[in-house]
Amino acid sequence: MKKKILGWLGSPPLLMFNLLIKFEKDIKVLLSDGKTISQCVQKYYQNEPSLQMSRQKEIKIPTKLFAGQGLTYSDNEGKNSFTVGKDFLRFQFKQYPNWNTILKQVSDILFKLKGELGLKVIAEISLLYIDRFIVKNKNNVINKNFNLEIEFPLSYEIDYTDFTFGYVVKKTKDMKFIQRLKGRVNEKELEENQIYYILENDYRCNKNIQISTIDNFKKFITSIHDEINDYFIDLIKDKIGSDQRYGLQID
């Protein structure tokens, strides 16, 4: 992993980090397993599970119950959540202290549930980072803030306050890595002449992985994290932090 320190950058300026682990076979969960799952995750997620329903609705259910749509657990602050679904585990973080802390939590829960639910082969792993950068409107030129060169006809009067740009960074038969950059104006911030960028780093690996040892899993998923981090560092410029310094470093 690259060691470049971005002194102006947030820790990082994260809106959300999603980690999805899909399995080769469906997770067979009995009604009695709800309590077991709760015991495996209670160190990190203290709130009772909620049932994911259609139309984005949730209802509270007793811990002992489980439904095919999935059980969602959340922490006391309501910033992070964990879901057990039909064939997947999903972690969602709005609070991201550092990678090692996240890695320990994910590994702990995965390997506790491995024995309880008979998890054997991972069919797909997806990591999605969503970051937000605030800049002054006068600096809203893509190549001043990011290492991207986008050319338009000279007759175009380009306004970067509303755009979406996506591209495949890397692709093999086993993985696909996409970056998406969006420019937006927050109506509440118009008087301050601010705009913001949303940067998505979306990495999907569909290579079958045996869940053997916790060290092998940590090494594999950390290699993905480090690759995303390297591309993230290569993309952004120090210029983006000149108006509002984020003040921390990437970890």
Task: Tell me the mean pLDDT in the region 58-67.
Answer: 42
Reported as a single tens digit per residue, the pLDDT across 79-119 is 999 998 888 999 999 988 889 999 999 999 999 998 888 88
The reply to whether 99 falls in a domain is: no
The reply to whether 111 falls in a domain is: no
Reported as a single tens digit per residue, the pLDDT across 131-180 is 888 777 655 678 778 888 888 898 988 777 788 999 999 999 999 999 99
The reply to whether 71 falls in a domain is: no
Q: Are strands 14-23 and 88-93 parallel, antiparallel or unpaired?
A: antiparallel
pLDDT > 50? residue 193 = yes
% of the chain with per-residue pLDDT over 70: 74
The reply to whether 244 falls in a domain is: yes
- In this structure, the dihedral spanned by the alpha carbons of residues 219, 225, 231 and 237, taken in order and rounded to 10 degrees, is -130
Helix axes 214-235, 99-117, angle to 10 degrees: 140
Instruction: Tell me the C-alpha distance between 248 and 12, whole Å.
Output: 7
pLDDT value of position 248: 31
pLDDT > 50? residue 181 = yes
Q: Which residue has the higher pLDDT, 23 or 9?
A: 23
* 51: confidence class by pLDDT, cuts 50, 70, 90: low
The reply to whether 145 falls in a domain is: yes
Burial 34-73 (b: 16+ CB within 10 A, else e): bebbbebbeebbeeebbbbeeeeeeeeeebeebbeebbbb
Task: Tell me the mean pLDDT in the region 6-34.
Answer: 71
* 12: confidence class by pLDDT, cuts 50, 70, 90: low
pLDDT value of position 2: 52
pLDDT > 90? residue 227 = yes
Q: Which residue has the higher pLDDT, 40 or 250?
A: 40
Q: Which residue has the higher pLDDT, 28 or 94?
A: 94
Instruction: Tell me the C-alpha distance between 67 and 52, whole Å.
Output: 9
The reply to whether 138 falls in a domain is: yes
The reply to whether 149 falls in a domain is: yes
pLDDT value of position 138: 58
Structure tokens at 173: 């038969």
Structural domain count of the chain: 1
The range of the structural domain enclosing residue 198 comes to 1-16+127-251
pTM given for the model: 0.82
244 φ, ψ to 5°?
A: -135, 105
The reply to whether 220 falls in a domain is: yes
pLDDT value of position 171: 96
% of the chain with per-residue pLDDT over 90: 37
DSSP state of 49: P
pLDDT value of position 111: 93
